[in-house]
């Protein structure tokens, strides 16, 4: 054999070997499910956590901080002295955990939240999540006579249910509505309007005082979609909401939806919105509102925490429910859009899934929930957690709004179920608020996208 040919053979062989390693190291080559070990079930260990099994908690360290998840770690360690618990707070949960899910080596508990979160519906479809039913039926930490399920505010279990199975539980309860400064309103003798006609009359009055009636977070049209879809839900009731979520034909062109879009569009044509709002980021718009340039801003209840450093003393931010759209609304004025967020889940391929469940049992205890309300200035989903606490003005108004809403708390699901549709909704809403489309064009555009989605077999469909 002469040298050149053997060199060529060597090169050819090495190319083949290289290609083989490339292909075998493929991203989709995953592991098999590990065997689940179960420890002895006792009164102190109702979920049967194996003794001495370590626990890994990965959580989104965002606006709510990580004090409450650390708190639950302390509680867990007291209950399982033999276990080593690692706790990690991240900003981009998805980027870090995606490869671990694919490799079959996920942590035991994940708080899958924030802008970089993983698509929960896709995780569930890929069979990556543990069924949480066992946790819900387990006795709570505070009172063994009460199940964890009975501690949660209405809608929390439903929020975490995908295709009939509970896949995740949210920790923070968010309420959407219109925010205003109580002190500013007292000073001018204004009150939050209960009907849309009153709202328009008040807008004229506010303009007379040299203040813009509304501003909004224009760069992210979803902020304005919340009052719009709240108006629609009040007018059309839960039937309207379900029709939208179930992608029914003509759902976006229902009377209530059109009337709501028209009402919001009227704010633009009536000149009731701070000029240039459509180009403001959420920070810029919220700061303009805090500086008294505008009277109302639509937002979820996280705004108080978010604006902490900017809000002037004595501003007294207050939440009001979105006004009633017509006199014949299906839902009462007090009805609000509410949903839970901060999604905690237990990966199906976790090394210690029972420990993960028991960690969540600690997290949903009264003690941790009270700490959350105090440190994160937000509503936990645990019943009665804010009772007896000295609440800030914003959080107090959230609590009282929730109380007067009673059972009339509604929420849309299309945003979680069909993110593609949500993008089109936001684009169309941007056009509506930019004055470049009217209510009918807005509705037609979204309906076309919803119809296309309904006809697309490759997208997993949900129903409620």
Partner 1 sequence: MRHGKYRFLIGALAPPLLLYGVFVVSPYAQAFYLALTDWNGLSAEAGFVGLANFADLWSDKLFLSALRNNGFMLLVVPTATIVLALFFSACLTLGGGMRRSGRGVRGSGLYRIVYFFPQLLSVAILGVLFQFVYTPGNGLLNGVLGAIGLGGLERAWLADPASALPAVTAVMIWSAVGFYVVLFTAAMDSVPADVVEAATLDGAGRFTVFRRITLPLVWDSVQVAYVYLGILALDGFALVQIMTVGPGGPDNATEVIGLTLYRSAFTYGEFGYASAMGVTLFFITLTLTALALRATKRERVELA
For residue 203, which phi and psi values (nearest 5 degrees)? -60, -45
Chain residues 175-234 in contact with partner 1, contact rule CB under 8 A: 218-221
Per the CB < 8 A criterion, the answer to whether 349 and 157 are in contact is no
Neighbours of 188 (CB within 10 A): 13
Closest CA to 369 of 385, 388, 393, 346: 385
Binding partner 1 (rule: CB under 8 A), the pick from 1, 27, 328, 455 is: 27
* Backbone dihedral angles phi then psi of residue 56, each to the nearest 5 degrees: -120, 120
Q: How many residues bind partner 1 (CB under 8 A)?
A: 49
Q: For partner 1, which is the closer residue by CB, 293 or 326?
A: 293
Question: Applying CB under 8 A, which part among 23-31, 233-241, 326-334, 353-361 lies near partner 1?
Answer: 23-31
Q: Which stretch binds partner 1 (CB under 8 A): 24-32, 174-182, 371-379, 380-388?
A: 24-32
Q: Is 126 helix (H, G, I), strand (E, B) or coil?
A: coil
Instruction: Identify the residue among 82, 250, 279, 406 touching partner 1 (CB under 8 A).
Output: 279
Minimum CB–partner distance for residue 60 and partner 1 (Å): 15
Tokens of 191: 């009150």
Cα(108)–Cα(143) distance, integer angstroms: 25
Tokens found for residue 368: 């941790």
* Cα distances (Å, whole numbers) of residue 355 to 30, 68, 108, 347, 349: 23, 18, 7, 11, 13
Considering only residues 234 to 273 of the shown chain, the ones binding partner 1 according to CB under 8 A are none
423: left (phi over 0), alpha (psi -120 to 50) or beta: alpha
Q: How far is the CB of 185 from partner 1 (least distance, A)?
A: 24
> CA quadruple 195, 408, 301, 230: dihedral positive or negative?
negative
Q: Could you tell me which of 405, 394, 380, 395 has the C-alpha nearest to residue 156?
A: 380
- The minimum distance between CB 28 and partner 1, in angstroms, equals 5
Residue 20 binds to partner 1 (criterion: CB under 8 A) = no
DSSP strand pairing (165-166 vs 161-162): antiparallel
CB closer to partner 1 out of 25 and 145:
25
Place of tokens 């991240």: 90
* DSSP three-state, residue 348: coil
Q: Which residues of 424-458 are buried (b: 16+ CB within 10 A; e: fewer)?
A: bbbebbbbbbeeebbbeebbebbbebbbebbeeee
Ranges within 420-439 binding partner 1 (CB under 8 A): 420, 423, 426-427, 430-431, 434, 436
Sole window of 223-231, 245-253, 262-270, 276-284 interacting with partner 1 (rule: CB under 8 A): 276-284
Residue among 60, 64, 101, 223 that touches partner 1 (CB under 8 A) = 101
Site string for partner 1, 31-70 (x = CB under 8 A): x---------------------------------------
Residue in 105, 134, 194, 284 binding partner 1, rule: CB under 8 A:
284
Closest contact distance (angstroms) between CB of 423 and partner 1 is 7
- Contact present, 354 and 48 (Cβ < 8 Å): yes
Q: What mask, x for binding partner 1 by CB under 8 A, covers residues 103 to 142?
A: -x-----------x-xx-xxx-xxxx--------------
Give the interface with partner 1 as residue ranges (CB under 8 A): 18-19, 21-23, 25-31, 94, 98, 101-102, 104, 116, 118-119, 121-123, 125-128, 218-221, 275-281, 284, 419-420, 423, 426-427, 430-431, 434, 436, 458
């Amino acid at each position: 054999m002469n040298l050149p040919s053997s060199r060529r053979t060597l090169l050819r062989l090495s190319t083949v070997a290289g290609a083989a390693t490339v292909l075998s190291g493929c991203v989709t080559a995953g592991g098999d499910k590990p065997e689940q070990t179960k420890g002895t079930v006792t009164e102190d260990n109702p979920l049967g956590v194996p003794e001495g099994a370590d626990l890994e908690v990965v959580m989104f360290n965002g606006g709510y901080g990580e004090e409450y998840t650390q708190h639950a770690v302390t509680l867990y360690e007291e209950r399982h002295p033999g276990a080593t618990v690692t706790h990690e707070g991240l900003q981009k949960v998805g980027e870090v955990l995606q490869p671990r899910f694919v490799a079959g080596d996920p942590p035991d508990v994940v708080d899958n939240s924030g802008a970089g979160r993983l698509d929960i519906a896709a995780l569930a479809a890929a069979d990556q999540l543990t069924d949480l039913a066992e946790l819900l039926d387990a006795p709570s930490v505070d009172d063994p006579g009460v199940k964890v399920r009975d501690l949660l505010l209405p809608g929390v279990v439903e929020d975490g249910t995908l295709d009939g199975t509970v896949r995740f539980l949210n920790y923070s309860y968010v309420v959407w509505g219109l925010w205003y400064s109580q002190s500013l309103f007292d000073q001018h003798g204004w009150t939050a309007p209960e009907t849309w006609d009153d709202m328009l009359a008040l807008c004229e009055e506010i303009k007379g005082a040299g203040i813009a009636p509304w501003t909004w977070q224009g760069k992210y049209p979803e902020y304005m979609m919340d009052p719009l879809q709240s108006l629609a839900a009040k007018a059309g009731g839960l039937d309207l909401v379900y029709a939208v979520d179930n992608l029914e034909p003509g759902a976006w062109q229902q009377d209530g939806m059109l009337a709501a879009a028209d009402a919001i569009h009227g704010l633009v044509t009536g000149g009731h919105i701070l000029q240039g709002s459509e180009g403001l980021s959420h920070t810029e718009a919220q700061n303009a509102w805090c500086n008294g340039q505008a009277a109302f801003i639509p937002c979820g209840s996280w705004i108080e925490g978010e604006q902490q450093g900017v809000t002037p003393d004595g501003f007294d931010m207050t939440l009001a429910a979105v006004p009633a759209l017509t006199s014949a609304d299906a839902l009462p004025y007090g009805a609000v859009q509410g949903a839970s967020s901060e999604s905690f889940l237990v990966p199906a391929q976790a090394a210690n899934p029972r420990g993960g469940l028991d960690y969540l049992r600690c997290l949903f205890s009264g003690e941790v929930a009270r700490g959350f309300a105090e440190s994160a200035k937000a509503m936990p989903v645990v019943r009665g957690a804010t009772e007896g606490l000295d609440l800030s003005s914003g959080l107090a108004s959230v609590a009282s709004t929730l109380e007067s809403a009673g059972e009339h708390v509604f929420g849309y699901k299309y945003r979680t179920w069909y993110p593609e549709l949500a993008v089109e909704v936001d684009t169309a809403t941007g056009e509506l608020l930019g004055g470049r489309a009217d209510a009918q064009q807005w509705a037609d555009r979204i309906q076309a996208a919803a119809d296309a989605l309904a006809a697309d077999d490759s997208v997993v469909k949900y129903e409620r």
